[in-house]
Chains A and B, each alone.
Chain A
Amino acid sequence: MNVMLAPDYFRFSEVFAPILPRFAALWVLWLGASACLAGSAPAEPTVSFVNEVQPVLTKMGCNSGGCHGKATGQNGFKLSLFGFEADEDYEHLVYEQRGRRLVPSAPARSLLLTKGAAIVPHGGGRRLEPGTPGYETLQKWIAQGMPNDIEDPKRPKLESIRVLPESRLMKAGESQALKVEARFSDGRTVDVTPYATMELNSKGMAQLDEASSVLTMGTRAGSVTAMVRYQDRVASFRASLPFGVPVSQLPAERNLVDTAIFKRLKEVGLPPSAVCGDSMFLRRVTLDIASRLPTAEEARKFAADTASDKRARWVEFLLQSDDYADTFANYWSGLMRNRRGDLPLTLSPAHIHGNFAFHSWIRESLYKNKPYDRFVRELLTASGESADAPAATWYRQLDSMLKQTEDTAQLFLGARIQCAQCHHHPYEQWSQRDYYALGAYFAQVERKVSTSRMSEFTVSLKRTLPEAIHKKTGEKVPPGAFGSVAPPLGPDDDARVALADWMTDKANPFFAKALVNRYWKILFNRGLVDPEDDMRDTNPPSHPELLDALAADFVRSGFDLKQLVRTLVNSSAYQLDSTPNAHNADDEQYFSRRYARRLSAEQLADALNSVTGAEDAWANQPLPTRAIQLPDNSYNSVGLLREFGRPDATTACTCERQGSASLGQSLFLATSGEISAKINAGNGTAAKLAADTKRSVEERIEELYLRAYARKPTEKEIVTGCEYVDKVSSKAGLVAPATAVGAWQDLLWALTTSGEFLLNR
């Protein structure tokens, strides 16, 4: 029918459409409607703007953050990011620029289509192929006069989506077509595959053709997830390519960790590396739990111990040590942004009292093994002056309801909801409303400069109803965490208590899982969900049943953090060798071997000192203080801590810690004054070993190896070391023959800058 009308309308629109686009659009609508009523032509179903047009624009990437979806739009044409603001988009498509973007009388001439198909020059290239379902949808919608069903109460609302299949084992190179089904409020189930957006969580494993919705597996064994989005709903498909190696031998199953990890290894046919030897275990677990190297004496004793429970006993010893508390206090204190100096100096000359007190409150809590639910409750509900209520310092850096909300979600619920402040996250179920509902719990929090100590803060509560203002709609949102509804709260209630009640409830689906996944990441170097604080439907856990079981176990133990560490490190899975076998070198998700990691900046500083016999002096800290004990970020200007990426505690994300290598690090280890001072110290290890002529060269080399690597040197290493010492004494075959002390300095340098030293494996 529109085709029939087109010639006349075309002329009409040429003349009037630029002036009266709204009228023109209505006019076509009206003509279309009357034609329908008259039954002059078979009715074509009306294209839905919300359910069809918007998803096409999303799928083509038109409204992505790099194109028209960014805040400023692109070349004068702006769409809302990922299409979550349908009314704005309709306005911009249909009316803006005097309606020049759409030509109902000749839809194919619409700028939307000619640009999208790159028929006229388009900075974004060709996004739409004429003839494809997406193109046809847009064309039909324009031809129908751009019907707007945003406010239409009869428009079926999207209820849920699912991907078919949900998961399957695949063969190398095999393809699987994905189908996306949407359920609408009118009870219909519709195939929305052409309108759904799809993305792989890891690009190297498979190919995904978005146009045909076909996933083709690559040749690398492992699992890959396709994230699928349609409107504001997400779902995922997991494809696994088994390694397919018979798994005949598995280490002893010690607890629930091993049950789940080994079960999966058998399923995918991936034989794990063997359980590691004593020295590797000793160095690994001592670094992980205590952030230090075992002493030479400890390494000797451990090797000589023949009892079968010696590993568990060593773990117990570490868990009860100060070093355990130092290690985990360092972790939490950084994530809780215990830092100096973001605020104007007049408000915060130093923060030193608050920071030190906050750090020692964290440390004390961990040392005494305060149950995690209590630890978090005390932090969330802290009130008073930070010097008296140290946990209140948390609110000093979190200077807005937004930061309090975001950090709470990220730290304790494993959810990154930052995006939802301004827009619906594309791969997340949380809406802007959820964001402000969580924020409402913090609406009463008031921060004031302390009257007794100018550098510190007092946290108090305003006597108001806890409500947050929705940034977009301006409505007052009452408290409610992630879909839950808070009990009625008055102006005299502390809404944060209600939040703590909800979080620490034994049945809370987020709280315990987020923590066990965090600790798993600390000890296994990859989260069951990874990144560990980004838990969402589209980033599923590698071992869902293990995550559930660990969380349940953690709740059952009364949120006992030490017990959790004990369970994890006493498992065979934790104790696997990091050296790959013939099959698992590529494994990055099944924990078939230990994933190694570079020592953290603090660990490296302390390890260097313990091997070289040096000591660092830190401002306002007694001697000896180890780097892992430093309470805040004010020490980070020192070369090593800075070069090796000690975080400045500016976010609640562990990703702020840099674990990577850099040119600066290499130069630092090679030529910095700090390193030479440690190596060359007159009372240091090299000087002492050189003077210790009572012991043989072999014995002294062994001492160095035990200190640096917690193991004895191999025959070859002894020979190489001895030869070097000999060469120095005979001054043969060297570029710069050193003195006797020099030989030990060189050995010390070589051993403490090697891969084996820098790695916790």
Chain B
Amino acid sequence: MKTNFCPGPISRRSFLQFGGLSLFGMSMLDQMRLNAASALGAPQLPQDTSVIFIWLPGGPPHMEMYDMKPEAPVEYRGIFKPMKTNVAGMEICELMPMQAKIADKFNIIRSVSHEFADHGGGHKRFMTGRIPATPTGTINDAPAVTSIIAKCLTEQGGFKDGMPPVVLGGAGSFDAYANGPAYLGASHTPFMVGDDPSNRNFSVRNLAISREMEARLEDRIALRQGLDNLRRDVDQSGVLTAMDSFNQNAFQMLTSTKVREAFDIAAEPTRVRDRYGMHAYGQRALLARRLVESGCRFVEMVWENPFPGRPTPVDCVQNWDSHAVNGNLFNDARWRFPVYDQAVSALIEDLYARGLDKRTLLVVTGEFGRTPKISTAVGTQSKVMQPGRDHWPKAMSMIVSGGGMRTGQIIGATNSRGEYPVERPLSPNDLWATVYQHLGVDFTQSFPDHQGRPMPILPFGDTINELLPSKSA
């Protein structure tokens, strides 16, 4: 946001009596030094770790990106050529040359699969780590990973300096991409940043208050404190006490220099912003990096339309759902992949350059892959016959980087036509087990549902040990 906040003198805020004032004055540089120190020497505390989770809704085409099959029949392999990367034997699409240069800094997982071929079902299956009750719709019947992490990290005291522990970017509603809390309840939802940070007028709703309003709010709070003398023990349910503490968190967020600075993407040098790319993908990636750097523990960024507000070319698709009727698979790739390549490679490079790679784990994936066999149909927008691929949960590809993990690996493999895993079959739950463990969240725990039945957060699945730092090393 374009500094809608006024920093104001400390004394003005002191009556709010928030904790952690000492950190308000800490510069980003100090923070970076601390980060660097923790990255270099001392044993990793789970409190230091964080995750950036990039979500590609619609289903990215694994056979155009990370699992190319040049030897497959023409109706499978598509038109693009694989490109060598700086890791011997690891090849990716020629449209992603920037990642090809840094392939030693990430892993490709080619063998995750599940059974839900609808967007709704695929979202729910992936985002909850459970088998959804219904195969369509994105309203969860089990809590999303984001809600579970929000709950666990908040209970570990994760709300530091007003920084929400879990942020969801690029979504206006937590139900849109199956991030609903289900039986965990609405108090365990990520903080949402719906708007596009590449927009010049970007600000965070309900957080970007005018300088006048911020000051007014302080008067109002003081007035309320003078008037609200209700005994808190009137309420044995504890809602009042909880609300007092959320009120504090809210005002801490609203007035925290750290939070303001973290969200103030305009403060980033133009050079950096341009390296990421001035589009929704790039700026969401940059915002995610700023947030984890400022203490946010889990940032999910949705990369749907790269240029919100601009018309999408008629043969391209607004999201990753490249059916032939929606768009021309190949033209869409030519339009979308460079944007994607720029943003992903910038984020990875930046995480490594800042030493964040030791504590920040990056995962980039969609809800499923796309049919290995190419189909053709008349596009509803382009009105011409064009190629496309449909939904395919039996195989998909994703990349994992940083987090102190081993990198430069290909994990798993699909058959010669990219149809299903033939090596190291994995499920989304294995990915989540790895993510939970990275954050210090016990992935064998259960939470009771509305019936009081204990529901394991991951009914099955285990860490992907190829990723974990080797113990002997």
Q: Taking beta carbons and an 8 Å cutoff, which residues of A are in contact with B?
A: 65-66, 70-72, 342, 344, 416, 418-419, 525, 531, 534, 578-580, 585, 587-588, 595-598, 637, 642-643, 645, 648, 650-651, 653, 655-656, 658-668, 670-672, 717, 720-721, 724, 734-736, 738, 742, 746-747, 749-751, 753-756, 758-759, 761
Q: Assuming A579-B234, A585-B233, A755-B243, is B253 touching A667 (CB within 8 A)?
A: yes
CA distance in complex: A384, B217 (Å) = 56
CA distance in complex: A271, B75 (Å) = 81
Q: Which residues of B contact A761 (CB under 8 A)?
A: 234-235
Whether B24 sits at the interface, judged by CB under 8 Å, is no
Q: Which residues of B contact A651 (CB under 8 A)?
A: 450
Contact A663 B242 (CB under 8 A): no
Can you give 24 contacting A-B residue pairs, CB < 8 Å? A66-B444, A66-B446, A66-B456, A525-B237, A585-B236, A595-B237, A596-B237, A653-B450, A660-B242, A661-B187, A663-B249, A663-B253, A670-B251, A670-B254, A720-B227, A721-B227, A736-B216, A738-B216, A746-B220, A754-B228, A755-B230, A758-B239, A758-B240, A761-B235
CA distance in complex: A444, B219 (Å) = 65
Extra pairs beyond A70-B456, A648-B139 (16, CB < 8 Å): A70-B460, A71-B459, A585-B236, A653-B450, A661-B242, A662-B187, A662-B246, A665-B243, A665-B246, A670-B254, A671-B209, A671-B254, A724-B223, A734-B219, A738-B216, A746-B223
- The residue in B12, B236, B250, B460 that gathers the most chain A C-beta atoms within 10 A of its C-beta is B236
The listed residue (A416, A580, A659, A671) touching B239 by CB distance below 8 A is: A659
CA distance in complex: A25, B282 (Å) = 66
Q: Return the CB mask of B389-404 against A: 1 if under 8 Å, else 0.
A: 0000000000000000
Residue of A nearest to B231 (CB): A579
The listed residue (B234, B246, B450) touching A655 by CB distance below 8 A is: B450
Q: Which residues of A contact B454 (CB under 8 A)?
A: 65-66
Residue of B nearest to A728 (CB): B219
Q: Which residues of A contact B25 (CB under 8 A)?
A: none
Q: Which residues of B contact A754 (CB under 8 A)?
A: 224, 227-228, 230
Residue of B nearest to A578 (CB): B234
Contact A735 B446 (CB under 8 A): no
CA distance in complex: A721, B224 (Å) = 10
Residue of B nearest to A721 (CB): B227
Nearest CB on B from A665, distance (A): 7
Contact B239 A735 (CB under 8 A): no
Q: Which residues of A contact B207 (CB under 8 A)?
A: 667, 671
Q: Which residues of A contact B206 (CB under 8 A)?
A: 667-668, 670-672
The listed residue (A419, A658, A734) touching B187 by CB distance below 8 A is: A658
Nearest CB on A from B192, distance (A): 9
Contact B237 A597 (CB under 8 A): yes
Contact A664 B189 (CB under 8 A): yes
From 113 to 167 in chain B, residues with beta carbon under 8 angstroms from any chain A beta carbon are 134, 136-137, 139, 141, 164
Nearest CB on B from A723, distance (A): 9
CA distance in complex: A746, B212 (Å) = 13
Whether B452 sits at the interface, judged by CB under 8 Å, is yes
Q: Which residues of A contact B239 (CB under 8 A)?
A: 597-598, 659-661, 758-759
Contact A418 B186 (CB under 8 A): no
Whether B213 sits at the interface, judged by CB under 8 Å, is yes
Contact B219 A531 (CB under 8 A): no
The listed residue (A735, A749, A750) touching B215 by CB distance below 8 A is: A735
Contact A759 B227 (CB under 8 A): no
Residue of A nearest to B444 (CB): A66
Q: Which residues of B contact A70 (CB under 8 A)?
A: 456, 459-460
Nearest CB on B from A402, distance (A): 11
Whether B89 sits at the interface, judged by CB under 8 Å, is no
Contact A735 B12 (CB under 8 A): yes
Nearest CB on B from A414, distance (A): 13
CA distance in complex: A525, B238 (Å) = 13
Contact B237 A659 (CB under 8 A): yes
The listed residue (A580, A735, A759) touching B219 by CB distance below 8 A is: A735
Q: Which residues of B contact A753 (CB under 8 A)?
A: 224
Whether B453 sits at the interface, judged by CB under 8 Å, is yes
CA distance in complex: A230, B281 (Å) = 58
Residue of A nearest to B224 (CB): A750
Whether B226 sits at the interface, judged by CB under 8 Å, is yes
Whether B232 sits at the interface, judged by CB under 8 Å, is yes
Nearest CB on A from B184, distance (A): 10
Contact A663 B460 (CB under 8 A): no
Nearest CB on A from B110, distance (A): 24
Nearest CB on B from A587, distance (A): 8
Q: Assuming A596-B234, A653-B450, A746-B223, is B186 touching A664 (CB within 8 A)?
A: yes
Q: Which residues of B contact A747 (CB under 8 A)?
A: 223
Nearest CB on A from B367, distance (A): 19
Contact B173 A637 (CB under 8 A): yes
From 414 to 462 in chain B, residues with beta carbon under 8 angstroms from any chain A beta carbon are 444, 446, 450-454, 456, 459-460
The listed residue (B185, B218, B246) touching A735 by CB distance below 8 A is: B218
CA distance in complex: A599, B140 (Å) = 26
The listed residue (B218, B226, B234, B243) touching A661 by CB distance below 8 A is: B243
Contact B186 A643 (CB under 8 A): yes
CA distance in complex: A662, B243 (Å) = 7
Top 8 A-B residue pairs of the complex, sorted by shortest distance between their CB atoms: A736-B215, A666-B250, A662-B187, A750-B224, A661-B243, A661-B242, A754-B228, A666-B246
Whether B191 sits at the interface, judged by CB under 8 Å, is yes
Whether B247 sits at the interface, judged by CB under 8 Å, is yes
Contact A666 B243 (CB under 8 A): yes
Residue of B nearest to A642 (CB): B186
CA distance in complex: A698, B190 (Å) = 44
CA distance in complex: A416, B218 (Å) = 48
Contact A749 B243 (CB under 8 A): no
Q: Which residues of B contact A342 (CB under 8 A)?
A: 134, 137
CA distance in complex: A761, B141 (Å) = 32
CA distance in complex: A650, B232 (Å) = 33
Residue of A nearest to B192 (CB): A664
CA distance in complex: A419, B448 (Å) = 13
Contact A596 B235 (CB under 8 A): yes
Nearest CB on B from A396, distance (A): 15
Nearest CB on B from A639, distance (A): 9
Contact A759 B235 (CB under 8 A): yes
Contact B224 A65 (CB under 8 A): no
CA distance in complex: A671, B210 (Å) = 10
Residue of B nearest to A596 (CB): B235
CA distance in complex: A659, B212 (Å) = 33
CA distance in complex: A588, B237 (Å) = 9
CA distance in complex: A510, B237 (Å) = 28
Nearest CB on A from B278, distance (A): 28
From 228 to 279 in chain B, residues with beta carbon under 8 angstroms from any chain A beta carbon are 228, 230-237, 239-240, 242-244, 246-247, 249-251, 253-254
Q: Which residues of B contact A595 (CB under 8 A)?
A: 236-237
Contact B220 A750 (CB under 8 A): yes
The listed residue (B136, B209, B236, B444) touching A596 by CB distance below 8 A is: B236
Contact A663 B191 (CB under 8 A): yes
CA distance in complex: A342, B246 (Å) = 33
Contact B187 A416 (CB under 8 A): no
Contact A670 B137 (CB under 8 A): no
The listed residue (B213, B215, B253, B451) touching A418 by CB distance below 8 A is: B451
Contact A645 B186 (CB under 8 A): yes
Contact A660 B451 (CB under 8 A): no
- The residue in A342, A534, A670, A758 that gathers the most chain B C-beta atoms within 10 A of its C-beta is A670
CA distance in complex: A587, B233 (Å) = 11
Nearest CB on A from B212, distance (A): 6
Contact A671 B237 (CB under 8 A): no
Residue of A nearest to B242 (CB): A661
Residue of B nearest to A748 (CB): B220
CA distance in complex: A642, B189 (Å) = 12
Q: Which residues of A contact B237 (CB under 8 A)?
A: 525, 595-598, 659
Q: Which residues of B contact A660 (CB under 8 A)?
A: 185-187, 239, 242
Q: Which residues of A contact B189 (CB under 8 A)?
A: 662, 664
Q: Which residues of B contact A596 (CB under 8 A)?
A: 234-237, 240
Contact A662 B186 (CB under 8 A): yes
Contact A671 B164 (CB under 8 A): no
